[in-house]
Structure 1
Amino acid sequence: MLQDWYAAATGWLFEHVLQPALYALGLMDWAEDLYGWLDFALFGLFGIAVVYAVCRPLEAWRPVERRADRRAVRTDMVYTFLSRLGILPLLAFVLLASLQSRWEGWLTEAGIMPPTLEELFPPLREHALLALLVYVVVLDFGEYWRHRAQHGFRWWWALHAIHHSQRQMTFWTDDRNHVLDDVLAALWFGGLALLIGVPPGQFPLILLLLRLGESLSHANVRLSYGRIGERLLVSPRFHRLHHGLLSAGATGKNYAVLLPVWDWIFGTADFRRGQFPPTGVPGIEPAMESGGWLRQQWAGFRRLATTLAGRA
């Protein structure tokens, strides 16, 4: 029933709002693409509602710290709405899908056909839930290494520092990223999803699950999952250590997005219990810490240019 309501809402908005505007502007050739974006955008709004319903009560229940600077939190909200309307992930998925079809056509002519996960493990075709879980695990593994790259390469850290500069961390902070950082992340995630053969119908659901986990891990809540639970799922306490003043930069810990097992395997885990340190980046310029969206973006560009010029 929920799926029917969602489809009906998408169809009504497209038919009564977007389609007349496209017709008036002479842009009906873009109708199919815009319908796809609308579908993704509504799903993004649904994702924001789910995250808010889960995380906001937890933050009100046992906050780590009071919201001393509500303007900084509102800036993070701007990041969330810009990001979760699905524009970047959708563009990356569509663009890479187009490139993939051309690439696969060339490989087919050359007699080469790289297998997807379902071709390597045929049982996945018969068990949709199992396939979904496998896709989540593989993509989460990829996200772990992307996160490590964000800290390991100085030029990438110049951008990623915007994410870490927030001293009033809440569940909204998850999407606090430089636009170039978001583009790289979308290409990374979308490219890996296509490489392993994630079906287009499952892609939004996987995105929702991972983003819910990320938002919860950034929540301003004094919450851990216990000795065993924190080795199964990334908790707010586990990830707050990553954002702590002693964990910023290339020497950080706790890079995992959803599954701490990757930190466990590769020696980057910090399972200290009862630790809820302050967050932020020591010595970061004020614009990246407390400026509005535009100021933070511009400061990130300057920081990137300075780093590439070798003066950072």
Structure 2
Amino acid sequence: MFDFIGDLWIRFTGTLFEQALQPTLYALGLMDWADDAFQWMDFFLFGLFSVGVVYAVCRPLEAWRPVERWADRRDVGTDIIYTLLARLGILPLLAFILLASVDAWVIGTIADSGWVPPSLENLWPALRESPLLAFAVYVVVLDFGEYWRHRFQHRIGWWWALHSLHHAQTQMTFWTDDRNHILDDCLGALWFGGLALLIGVPPGQFPLVALVLRLAESLSHANVRLSFGSVGERLVVSPRFHRLHHGVLSAGESGRNYAVLLPIWDWIFGTADFRRDQFPLTGDPDASPVLVHGGWFAQQIEGGRRLWGVLRRG
């Protein structure tokens, strides 16, 4: 199945490149940039596809049973800008410029040394015979990693200075998932990508694993009065479960419900909370007005200022 999906995507992007982008590059005398242009097109199209999937799932739910209604939705509009920049532009740009050379150096060094990094398929050979089981295991392991990254964002002072931008939103919707400081996004990309490389997630499955977790995160932020019930909510993170995390009582180090997809991590490590108000108001009482109502650029500057303040105080 995964090979079929991968082949279908390769044929689609290859045809689009040959029929549309390549002739344009040739006409402009830019064929030396053909490989880079193809990679950029691939980044952009997959980002556009992931945004479309999230919108198709989450927007009807928010229209169906919203927790809150706002006459002025400018703060939500700012979150939409965050999503478009993160998924279609600015984060892939930074990853390409800052991380491509590092990635090439690491891979080259490992190859020259002859060392083969351990992977889950090496430790558990049965995964090679069952792609669906392997996919499920990759999702579980990466979800476990995301749980701990999220806890560290709240526990480490300088990291909370960045992550507090995410918690400042008082009009939380599925767009809020990408409301992050750009440095926080880069740290998250390194964390997620590094763990995926460590456990040996195949390149063909990595985008699908990322899409599953992204959809789960976006749904958990949705402005929808939705619970999965006393049993279901203990199996999969629901909008109600995660809204408790964004409630005004959960800001900073006192946070609960850190899980992205599977609440079992909160159960195991004692951070699950099913007792508070079902759908509390969201936001951080200590957030500055800029973090709540400012535009993208102003919030990035404010987040950097808060980070510098923590670092300067030691």
Give TM-score scaled by structure 1 length: 0.91
Cα contact 2:6–2:204 (8 A) shared by 1: no
Q: Pairwise mapping of residues 157-196 of structure 1 onto structure 2 (< 5 A)?
A: 157-196=160-199
Structure 1: how far apart are the matches of 2:221 and 2:161?
21
Residue 201 of structure 2 corresponds to which residue in structure 1? Answer: 198
Q: Deviations over 1:96-143 (max 9, x none)?
A: 6424422322442xxx43311111111111111111000000100110
Residue 111 of structure 2 corresponds to which residue in structure 1? Answer: 105
Residue 292 of structure 2 corresponds to which residue in structure 1? Answer: 289
In the alignment, residue 239 of structure 1 is paired with which amino acid? H
Residue 253 of structure 1 corresponds to which residue in structure 2? Answer: 256
Deviation (angstroms), 1:29? 3.7
Q: Deviations over 1:129-184 (max 9, x none)?
A: 11100000010011011101111111111111111000000000000001000000
Give TM-score scaled by structure 2 length: 0.90
Cα contact 1:76–1:172 (8 A) shared by 2: yes
In the alignment, residue 103 of structure 1 is paired with which amino acid? T
SS of equivalent to 1:267 = coil
Deviation (angstroms), 1:7? 4.5
Cα contact 1:79–1:176 (8 A) shared by 2: yes
Aligned residues: 308
Residue 299 of structure 1 corresponds to which residue in structure 2? Answer: 302
Tell me whether 1:35 sits opposite 2:38 in the alignment.
yes
Structure 2: how far apart are the matches of 1:96 and 1:142?
22
Deviation (angstroms), 1:5? 6.9
Mark the CA change 1:9 to 1:126 in structure 2 (over 3 Å): closer, same or farther: closer
Tell me whether 1:62 sits opposite 2:65 in the alignment.
yes
Tell me whether 1:84 sits opposite 2:90 in the alignment.
no
The answer to which of 147-156 and 33-42 deviates more is 33-42
In the alignment, residue 52 of structure 1 is paired with which amino acid? Y
Residue 144 of structure 2 corresponds to which residue in structure 1? Answer: 141
Structure 1: how far apart are the matches of 2:252 and 2:22?
47
Mark the CA change 1:85 to 1:137 in structure 2 (over 3 Å): closer, same or farther: same
- RMSD of the alignment, in Å? 2.3
Structure 2: how far apart are the matches of 1:151 and 1:6?
38
Tell me whether 1:115 sits opposite 2:118 in the alignment.
yes
Aligned mate of 1:75, from 78, 103, 106: 78
**Which structure 1 residue ranges, 5 or more long, are not aligned?**
none
**Which structure 2 residue ranges, 5 or more long, are not aligned?**
none
Deviation (angstroms), 1:46? 1.1
Tell me whether 1:225 sits opposite 2:228 in the alignment.
yes
Cα contact 1:69–1:168 (8 A) shared by 2: no
Structure 2: how far apart are the matches of 1:181 and 1:107?
32
Mark the CA change 1:126 to 1:80 in structure 2 (over 3 Å): closer, same or farther: same
In the alignment, residue 138 of structure 1 is paired with which amino acid? V
Mark the CA change 1:308 to 1:93 in structure 2 (over 3 Å): closer, same or farther: closer
Residue 217 of structure 2 corresponds to which residue in structure 1? Answer: 214
Residue 158 of structure 2 corresponds to which residue in structure 1? Answer: 155
In the alignment, residue 269 of structure 1 is paired with which amino acid? A
Structure 2: how far apart are the matches of 1:301 and 1:163?
13
Cα contact 1:150–1:160 (8 A) shared by 2: yes
Mark the CA change 1:3 to 1:98 in structure 2 (over 3 Å): closer, same or farther: closer
Cα contact 2:220–2:239 (8 A) shared by 1: yes
Mark the CA change 1:144 to 1:85 in structure 2 (over 3 Å): closer, same or farther: same
Identity across the alignment (%): 67
